[in-house]
Chain A
């Protein structure tokens, strides 16, 4: 099976503010982009896995985690996993930073 991966330029690294969420739309996917304090950039699906949802771009970022602003679930930015005692997972996307360009790979 051949898998096609697309690399999409989504932001200027230097313009991203640390611990703020940015919403990115690629095709019909809504993605939340975060630059964390250590400088790494992460991209995950912009929707809390809680049945009643919540947009993650508005959540509080701490280290490499974001808290869902509506139900306070703690979600890992690196793999999208919801932390115990809650359960679930959002999709995490691969991010590449080249110079000042930030790409998301789908």
Chain B
């Protein structure tokens, strides 16, 4: 395999890798170096984080699992400092050396920091990455007054975010008009008035010459001699390509790393993509052209017939609440340009299209941007606009769909992901999609900046015609087989008294009559949750692990993990496990993370006989159920233990084992606050204290690391059991299928859960429903051993040898 190394782990670079994996999944051994300590995230959404609309987790585009799944070696928090062109290797700041056959430089850019005295003081930052965001958020906790230098796109987004964080914000701008590169003076003044009404203060035509203060910033001084106080200064003047490593390695660099139409640099086998690259003297800073570059570079590297990159025309919008603004192309009149304008000062709507030789060359929209996609299409296709009405009349009720009808199929709808109208229409038709959510999942349209979502919705409405249900289209359905949401599904099951998976799919008119891997297990769960002990589980609606009662491994073998209550075992059981492992030549015996013994690499047909010889219950290491209760030694032996953690752990595990839950549930019981069972990162954790137990909930030690919150402190084991049971049952009844307790608590709120559980009557009812549900379970390994039908259907070898 050829070795591909990429310096940089940002949006443009990682998109290039995705394109390469699509074209040629096994051609390269890939290594990525990223200076930031994170996987690839959606930098466009940083302003949403600052404005408090989203969290960092939600803007991660490629989680660490993605790198693993694609066998990509990722080094985060590590920068490449040198490219040894002769030896074809890169050297990192930690001294790591990695050889390459092909090298992609995708180092992005840095904030441009004004070279003025005081720019290095504490409290001065750019606005470029999550670190900058965190710094601003922290500053807002302790300080009051922020100054943003730069009244462009980024500066205004930062300023709005700082207002949301409760700071007073002044925006300092060198020019007389805001966003002068995107807006004409009229649009600019409308924008300024709107932002002033939101509480921003503007200092126009001011040139900052010095940042004053001791260690920390205290204020700014301008060229005209005036000055203002500041506790935080954000410089959002522009970006500067990050070209250092390229320059020092002898690659030709101008403003950015200079590339040709194949994204090749001046050195063989070295490419550059994204904000660090300069193509035909332009450095792009928006996502659509960078994704375009990535696609072309991927074709080149994979040796496919590559198209040429010929540059991009781009449109921009401002992501600030209460402002709807779009701009593209040339926005200043010269002698050859004529404008078409609509100006409704009363409603704050301004639209201007700039035309040269019957063709649109520029667009400025303020207050109403729904024409942006259509106009931008006409601009980029250089359509002749003679006899075309540029702005629709006011009363265009069906304007949306009429517009869609005239839109050609190869028209790009989602610029970020390169999805055309044709691809969306085809996906809707061939896969029977009815909601926006489904279309996004199937086509990727609308999954980056989200600006095209209204357009995608219009296409959906147009394609479905009479079938289109506007309200339903907005809902998050449980899967692509239906438009129904989780709440509606549960309500329908209750109201209509539905009792089987098949009946649910039939009566609720699933568009895919046998369902899919998302809805079938979910319906099966909800039915069991509602009908409790009366429900007969539909084994064939469970996915392989829960169906076989063992964990499938990547080579098609399984693992066997016997139940070992509270992680406590005996010498006799250990002997039995050892004998079985030897007899069946189990390739791997390992202690699991939850204090159990796992036997890995078992053939499916050996499962029932192994279970029979083990004569132990299933440890359910594969299920959406109570996995394990991890315990410390506790008061029985430990000199610190204040409570009997092993006994409580065993009691909990015996009571709740086999219970179906929306997702897996892990527990931990510690006998003292030293917390050897790590109860603070379990779904439910118990910590013994003098005279009682603390109960922690919603901890998670996995992908979404989260410390548990204290739910309650109780005195007796009986109270522990009663409250745990009520809590678990409330989770079972209100969580979405596949929602872990940590996510669930964050969604519904810990205070809400506490309130519900504070009511003694409610607790009693929850306990009663839990107890009734628990009645239905029987031990599955033993059931399989006893039943020839089950053995034949699920565990017999169906291998047919040819000709027999």
Nearest chain-B residue to A55 (Cβ)?
A: B556
Contacting residues of chain B (537-590) with chain A, CB-CB under 8 angstroms: 540, 543-544, 548, 552, 554-556
Check B802 against A51 for contact (C-beta < 8 Å).
no
CB distance from A10 to the nearest CB of B (A): 5
CB distance from B384 to the nearest CB of A (A): 35
Contact of B554 among A21, A53, A61 (CB under 8 A): A53
CB distance from A52 to the nearest CB of B (A): 6
Contacting residues of chain B (33-86) with chain A, CB-CB under 8 angstroms: 69-71
Residues of A within 8 A of B520 (CB): 60, 62
Check B554 against A62 for contact (C-beta < 8 Å).
no
Residues of B within 8 A of A67 (CB): 516-517
Encoded as 1 (CB less than 8 Å from any A CB) or 0, chain B from 490 to 521 comes to 00000000000000000000001111110010
Check B22 against A8 for contact (C-beta < 8 Å).
no
Contacting residues of chain A (48-75) with chain B, CB-CB under 8 angstroms: 51-55, 57-63, 67, 69-72, 74
Cα(A10)–Cα(B802), bound, Å? 6
Query: Quick check: is B320 within 8 A (CB to CB) of the other chain?
Result: no
Contact of A58 among B441, B442, B552 (CB under 8 A): B552
Check A74 against B516 for contact (C-beta < 8 Å).
yes
Query: Quick check: is B705 within 8 A (CB to CB) of the other chain?
Result: no
Given A20-B793, A58-B556, A84-B427, check contact A72 B517 (CB 8 Å): yes
Residues of B within 8 A of A11 (CB): 800
Query: Quick check: is B443 within 8 A (CB to CB) of the other chain?
Result: yes
Contact of A25 among B25, B70, B427, B800 (CB under 8 A): B800
Check A52 against B554 for contact (C-beta < 8 Å).
yes
Query: Quick check: is B223 within 8 A (CB to CB) of the other chain?
Result: no
Given A58-B552, A59-B544, A84-B427, check contact A8 B802 (CB 8 Å): yes
Check B798 against A70 for contact (C-beta < 8 Å).
no
Contact of B442 among A17, A37, A85 (CB under 8 A): A85
Check A70 against B554 for contact (C-beta < 8 Å).
yes
Query: Quick check: is B799 within 8 A (CB to CB) of the other chain?
Result: yes
Residues of B within 8 A of A98 (CB): none
Contact of A62 among B22, B514, B548, B801 (CB under 8 A): B514
CB distance from A105 to the nearest CB of B (A): 12
The residue in B69, B540, B800 that gathers the most chain A C-beta atoms within 10 A of its C-beta is: B800
Cα(A24)–Cα(B803), bound, Å? 10
Cα(A24)–Cα(B804), bound, Å? 11
Place the interface of chain B in its size category: 35 or more
Query: Quick check: is B772 within 8 A (CB to CB) of the other chain?
Result: no
Check A69 against B543 for contact (C-beta < 8 Å).
yes
Encoded as 1 (CB less than 8 Å from any A CB) or 0, chain B from 416 to 443 comes to 0000000000010001000000000111
Check A8 against B427 for contact (C-beta < 8 Å).
no
Contacting residues of chain A (12-32) with chain B, CB-CB under 8 angstroms: 17, 19-27
Residues of B within 8 A of A8 (CB): 802-803
CB distance from B94 to the nearest CB of A (A): 28
Check B26 against A51 for contact (C-beta < 8 Å).
yes
Residues of B within 8 A of A71 (CB): 69
Query: Quick check: is B595 within 8 A (CB to CB) of the other chain?
Result: no
Query: Quick check: is B139 within 8 A (CB to CB) of the other chain?
Result: no
Query: Quick check: is A97 within 8 A (CB to CB) of the other chain?
Result: no
Contacting residues of chain B (1-38) with chain A, CB-CB under 8 angstroms: 22, 25-26
Check A20 against B798 for contact (C-beta < 8 Å).
yes
Nearest chain-A residue to B548 (Cβ)?
A: A58
Query: Quick check: is B444 within 8 A (CB to CB) of the other chain?
Result: yes
The residue in B22, B517, B520 that gathers the most chain A C-beta atoms within 10 A of its C-beta is: B517
Check A60 against B543 for contact (C-beta < 8 Å).
yes
Nearest chain-A residue to B792 (Cβ)?
A: A17
Contact of A70 among B427, B512, B552 (CB under 8 A): B552
Residues of B within 8 A of A57 (CB): 798
Residues of A within 8 A of B70 (CB): 51
12 new A-B contacts at CB < 8 Å, known A19-B540, A22-B799, A84-B442: A9-B803, A17-B793, A23-B799, A33-B800, A51-B71, A58-B552, A59-B544, A60-B543, A62-B512, A69-B543, A74-B516, A84-B427
CB-CB nearest 6 A-B residue pairs: A55-B556, A62-B514, A22-B798, A69-B544, A26-B802, A67-B517
- Selected A-B contacts with CB under 8 Å, 16 pairs: A10-B800, A19-B540, A22-B799, A23-B799, A33-B800, A52-B554, A53-B554, A58-B544, A60-B544, A62-B514, A63-B514, A67-B516, A69-B552, A70-B554, A85-B444, A87-B22
